[in-house]
Amino acid sequence: MIRLLFTVCAFASPAFAQTQQEQDRFDELVSLYQAATVVGEPTFEPCVLSQGAEANCLKITVVAAPSDHITGPYCPLNISDTAEAGGTWFVDGEVRDVDGDFIARLSEIYQNDAWQMFDPETGDIFVRNNEIGCIVAGDPTNSTGQPDNICVDCSLGFIGKTVTRTYFIPLTPVASEGDVGDVRGGVGLALNGVKVEGPAPLELILGGITIGPFDDCGGHINPSEGYHYHGILEGCGARAAAVTEGHAARLGVAMDGHDLYDQLDLDTSEPADLDACRGHEVEGLGYHYHVSATATNQILPCLTAQTGCSLESADANCDASLQSREQGGPPPREN
C-alpha cells in the first residue's frame, strides 16, 4: 500500500513527469540491481547533470560492497607467502599477483632501492591493516604521517560503519557538449552494487613508496567509497546476458546512463568500432561501452554523455554541475 501511494504521488508531480521510455528504463534498472544490496526503495528523482542539463534519474542507494563475491585478501604477511595470501597489483598493463615474492622484489620491479617493504631478517612484510589500514587507504597523500614502505590493507569490518553510496543515474542520456566527460568521479555502478571507479592514483601511491593492493577481483576499499573496482575481471560479479546473440555480457551502468559491458564479445574478440570512450552503437542494445582490459587502470577513458551523481549521503540531491564547480575541478583523488 505504501508503495502504491508513493507511485501515485510521483506521477502526480510535474517535476517527475517522465516518458514511457524512462519508465521502462527505470523498471529495467531496478530489476537489474536486484543483484545488489539495495537500501530502501529506488526512486525517480529530478537531477541536474554535469553540464547543467535537467533530467530524470534513477536514485538508488546500495551497500558499497559486492553482494556476490568475497573481498580481499590484499597484503601477504611474509615474503614466503603464496598468492592465496595476497591480492593483485597493476604493473605495466599486467595483473600481477601480490604474493610474498612480489613484495620481496619491489625494488627490482620498480628499479628503485628505496623499496624495502619487509624485515630482511624475518621476511615479515610491513602491513598497515585494521583501523589504521583504512585511515591510510582514505589518505593517499599520507598526511597521517605513516612511514613509506607499507602495504595498505583496509577491510570492510575496520571502517567502523556500513558504507553506502547513493547514485543518480540519468534515465535518458544527454550528450556532452564539447569535451567528453571525465571519469574521475567514477565510471559507473556494477550490478552487484560495487562502484566502478576511475583510475587509482598509482603515481601518487608509488611515489610514496606504498602499494594498496587490489584483491583478485580488481577491487579494494577505502572509508568513503567502500569497496570499488579499478579493473574488471569477467569472473567477478553479476552479469546480465546481452539480448544480442554473441555480444559481451552487461556488468553495470555508466554514470551517464549508458550501459557497461565486458571487454570482449563471446567469441573473445573486442568490437572493432569502439570510439575514443570505448562506446559503440549496436542494433537492439543502443549505444553502450565495453570496459578496458583489466590492468590498464582505466576502466573507461571517458564518457560521452553528461554524468549524474555518486554521493556519500543518501539524503542529498544531485546537481552534478554544482558539484564540479564547487570543488573547482575534478573530485578529490582517492586511494
Q: How far apart are CA 115 and CA 112, in angstroms?
A: 6
SS3 220: strand
Report how many residues bind Zn ion under the rule CB under 5 A.
Answer: 2
Q: How far apart are CA 126 and CA 108, in angstroms?
A: 18
Beta-carbon contacts of 286 under 8 Å, excluding residues fewer than 6 positions away, are 258, 259
- Interacting stretch for Zn ion, rule CB under 5 A, among 15-23, 121-129, 198-206, 313-321? 198-206
Identify which of residues 49 and 156 has a Cβ nearer to Zn ion in the complex: 156
- Interacting stretch for Zn ion, rule CB under 5 A, among 8-16, 47-55, 197-205, 314-322? 197-205
Q: What distance, in Å, lies between the first and last C-alpha atoms of the chain?
A: 44
Identify which of residues 60 and 248 has a Cβ nearer to Zn ion in the complex: 248
Identify which of residues 28 and 101 has a Cβ nearer to Zn ion in the complex: 28
- Interacting stretch for Zn ion, rule CB under 5 A, among 16-24, 85-93, 175-183, 196-204? 196-204
Instruction: List the interface residues with Zn ion, window 200-239 (CB under 5 A).
Output: 200
CB of 194 to Zn ion, least distance (A): 11
Q: What is the DSSP string of 143-162?
A: TT---SSEEE---GGGSSS-
Identify which of residues 95 and 282 has a Cβ nearer to Zn ion in the complex: 282
Q: Which of 49, 67, 65 shows the shortest CA–CA distance to 168? A: 49
DSSP 207: H
Identify which of residues 224 and 317 has a Cβ nearer to Zn ion in the complex: 224
Instruction: List the interface residues with Zn ion, window 277-306 (CB under 5 A).
Output: 282
Q: How far apart are CA 299 and CA 205, in angstroms?
A: 18
Instruction: List the interface residues with Zn ion, window 30-69 (CB under 5 A).
Output: none
Q: Which residues bind Zn ion (CB under 5 A)?
A: 200, 282
